[in-house]
Amino acid sequence: MKSVLPVLVVVAALIGLWYAAAVPMNVRGVLDEAERAGAEVVPASGAERRERAVWTLVVRNPGAIPATWAQERPRLPAPHQVAAELWDTTAGKSITSKRSLVYHGWVTLSATLLGFAIGTGLGILLAVGIVQSKVMDMSVMPWAIVSQTIPIIALAPMIIVVLYSVGVQGIIPKAVISAYLSFFPVVVGMVKGLRSPDAMQLDLLRTYNASAAQGLWKLRLPASMPYLFASLKIGIAASLVGAIVGELPTGAVAGLGARLLAGSYYGQTVQIWSALFAAAILAAALVGLLGLIERLVLRRMGVA
Amino acid sequence: MNATTVVEARDLDLVFQTGDGPVHALKDVNLSIDKGDFVSFIGPSGCGKTTFLRVMAALEQPTGGTVTVNGMSPEEARRKRAYGYVFQAAGLYPWRTIAGNIRLPLEIMGFSRAEQEERVARVLKLVDLEGFGGKYPWQLSGGMQQRASIARALGFDADILLMDEPFGALDEIVRDHLNEQLLALWARTGKTIAFVTHSIPEAVFLSTRIVVMSPRPGRITDVIESPLPRERPLEIRDTAQFIEIAHRVREGLRAGHSDAL
C-alpha cells in the first residue's frame, strides 16, 4: 500500500505531460478552425501563422488552449477524449455492434489466443528437440533466430497471400502470424530451462539408468517451468502484436488492427488512440493472467 | 578374487584429454573392496578419489585396466541396481516433497505404487526422518536434506553405497552427528560403503579401511586396515589408537604430497 502514492504521482505526471503536449500539437488546427468561424486570432492569416513557432501561437492566443483539448479530430487527443471514446465504444455499445471495441477486441483476442497456443506448443516441441538432439540444435536454432530478424510487417502480407491462395482465410492467417512471433521466446526460454539442471542432477539420473524420456519428464520439464512462464509472458504480448499486424494488410473489417487502420484512413485520431489503449489494456490483462497462473502453478509445485 | 569381494580394480588407468594436454587422473590403481567394508578414500583434490568412485558408478570410462562391481562391469552392475550414489550436494528436486524425492528412483525403476510407499516409509525411518515425508526440501536443514538424499540412495536396496563427500558442505557439529548416524545405518543394513572425504578424523572414525591417495598422477599410496572395533562412539576419537591411525594417514598424505613436489 505504501507504493500507491508514488504510483499515482507518476500517473498524474504522465497525464499532465500529455495534456501539456496536446496544446502545441493541436493549436494550429484550433486557430484555423477559429479563423474559419470568424473569431479573432493572432496572427490573423494562416500563411503568417505557419511562419510562427507553435509556442508563440500558444502565448499569443491563450484563449485557444481549452479548445486544444476538445477538437473533433485533433492531432493528439487529450486523455479525457480517449477515455470517453473508450467508455463509449465498450460500455456504450452492444458488444455485437461493429462500433464496439469489445467486439473488435474479441476478434483480435481469439486470433491472439489461437496463435499463442500454436506458438507455445511449437516452441516447446522445438526446444525439447533442440535439447535432446545435437543435430536439431545445430540445424533448427539458427533458423529460429533468423526467422525473427525479418520484420513481421514485411512478412505478414506474404503469409496472408500465400494462405489465401491455398484457400485459408479468416482467423487462421492471423493466428499463424501470432504463432510466428510467439514461438521464438518460448524456444529460447525453454532451451535454457531444459538445460538448467546441473551436471550432478544429470549424473544422478544416470546412476538410476533413467532413459532420456524419463529425464525429460521427471527433471528437465519441471525444472524449466519458471523459464517457461517468463517466456509465455513475452510470447502472449508478441502474439497480440502479431494478430494486430495480421489485420493491417488485408484491410480487415474487424479487429483492433482494423480499427487502427480505419482510424488512420479517416483521420479519426481519437479512434486510433482508443484502439491503441484497448490493445495495451488487453496485453496487460493477458500478461497479468499469466502471472496469476504462474503463481498458482509454482506454488502447487512447491517452488514459490 | 574371493566370494566376498564386491569391487575389484586391476591396473586401473584413466587419462582425461583436456585443453592443457592429458591429465592422468588415475594410474595403476589396484584395490579390492570386500562385502560389508566401509572404505574411505582420502587425499588432496586432484588425487582421483572422486574419479575412482565415478568409475565404479560407470559415470567415467577407464582408459586402461579393469574394474568389476559384484563381478560385473560397472554398466551391468548399474542395470542390476548394485549401488546407490550420494553426491556432495543433496540435489533434491525443489518441486518434489521429501517422500517424492525418495520415490524418484523407484518411479524410474518401475516399482509398483504400493511398493514405492512402503519403501519410502522404510528408508525415512532408517535415516530418522519419519514425519518429514510431506515437507519440501527448503523446509529442511542442510543436514536433514543430506539424510534425505541418503534415504533416496537406499530405497532400491542397492548393496553398495558410493558416497562422494556427502557431508563436505556441512558444519562440524552436524557432520559428527551424521557420521554417528551413518555408522548406525551401516551396522543395521550391512551395506558396503565407499566414502570419499578430505577429512582425516572423518575417514578414521568411519572406516574399516582407509585408502590414502595422492595427485599427479592420481594413485593409491597407502591402504590402512583400521584396528578399531566396528562399534564406535564419538569418544573413540580421543583414544591413543585413533590418534595413531590418524597420524599414519597424515604421514601417508604428506609422503604422497612431497613425492609430487
Question: Where is pLDDT greater, at A289 or B172?
Answer: A289
Q: How many residues does chain B have?
A: 261
Domain boundaries defined on chain A: 4-76, 101-301
The reported pLDDT for the residue numbered B162 is 94
Closest listed residue to residue B230, CA positions, set B174, B184, B177: B184
Question: Where is pLDDT greater, at A14 or A301?
Answer: A14
CB pair distance less than 8 Å for B57 and A204: no
Give kind and range of the element (H or E) at residue B28. strand B21-34
Residue B125 pLDDT > 50, yes or no? yes
Q: How many residues does chain A have?
A: 304
The reported pLDDT for the residue numbered B257 is 66
Sheet holding B219-225, edge to edge: B83-86, B160-164, B192-197, B38-42, B209-214, B219-225
Residue A254 pLDDT > 60, yes or no? yes
How close, in Å, is residue B222 to chain A by CA atoms? 29
Q: Per-residue pLDDT tens for A106-124?
A: 999 999 999 999 999 999 9
> Residue written as cell 542390476?
B80
**What does the DSSP 8-state code read for residue A207?**
H
Q: Which residues contact A198 (CB under 8 A, 6 or more apart)?
A: none
Q: Per-residue pLDDT tens for A271-285?
A: 999 999 999 999 999
Q: Per-residue pLDDT tens for A118-172?
A: 999 999 999 999 999 999 999 998 999 998 898 888 888 898 889 989 988 888 9
Residue B7 pLDDT > 80, yes or no? yes
Strands B64-69, B5-18: pairing kind: antiparallel
Give kind and range of the element (H or E) at residue B22. strand B21-34
CB pair distance less than 8 Å for A209 and B104: no
The reported pLDDT for the residue numbered B19 is 85
pLDDT-derived band at B137, boundaries 50, 70, 90:
very high
List all residues of chain A from 202 to 231 with a beta carbon under 8 Å from chain B. Answer: 203-210, 214, 218-219, 222-223, 225
How close, in Å, is residue A212 to chain B by CA atoms? 11
Q: Per-residue pLDDT tens for A55-92?
A: 889 898 888 889 999 988 899 999 999 999 999 988 88
Domains of chain B: 5-82+160-260 (3.40.50.300), 93-157 (no CATH)
Question: What integer is the mean pLDDT of B126-146?
Answer: 91
The two counts, helices (H) then strands (E), for chain B are: 8, 9
The reported pLDDT for the residue numbered A251 is 63
What one-letter code names the amino acid at B87?
F
Q: Per-residue pLDDT tens for A167-226?
A: 888 889 999 999 999 999 999 999 999 999 999 999 999 999 999 999 999 999 999 999
| A25 Cβ under 8 Å from any chain B Cβ | no
What would be the CATH architecture of the domain defined by A101-301?
Orthogonal Bundle (1.10)
Residue A249 pLDDT > 80, yes or no? no
The reported pLDDT for the residue numbered B195 is 95
Interface predicted TM-score (ipTM): 0.87
Question: What integer is the mean pLDDT of B114-127?
Answer: 92
**What does the DSSP 8-state code read for residue A217?**
I
Query: Mutate which of B72, B85, B98 to test chain A, going by most A C-beta atoms within 10 A?
Result: B85
Residue B260 pLDDT > 60, yes or no? no
**Chain A residue nearest residue B87, CA to CA:** A200
**What mean pLDDT is reported for chain B?**
89
The reported pLDDT for the residue numbered A203 is 93
| A296 Cβ under 8 Å from any chain B Cβ | no
The reported pLDDT for the residue numbered B71 is 86
- Identify which of B54, B87, B136 has the shortest CB distance to residue A204: B87
pLDDT-derived band at B1, boundaries 50, 70, 90:
very low
Contact A178, A119 (CB under 8 A): yes
First-last CA distance in chain B: 36
How close, in Å, is residue A100 to chain B by CA atoms? 45
The reported pLDDT for the residue numbered A38 is 85
Query: Mutate which of A207, A214, A301 to test chain B, going by most B C-beta atoms within 10 A?
Result: A207
CB pair distance less than 8 Å for B59 and A214: no
Question: What integer is the mean pLDDT of B90-103?
Answer: 93
In percent, the amount of chain A with pLDDT more than 70 equals 98
**Chain A residue nearest residue B110, CA to CA:** A210
Question: What integer is the mean pLDDT of B38-67?
Answer: 91
Task: Answer positive or negative: Cα dihedral of B165, B169, B172, B176.
Answer: negative
| A132 Cβ under 8 Å from any chain B Cβ | no
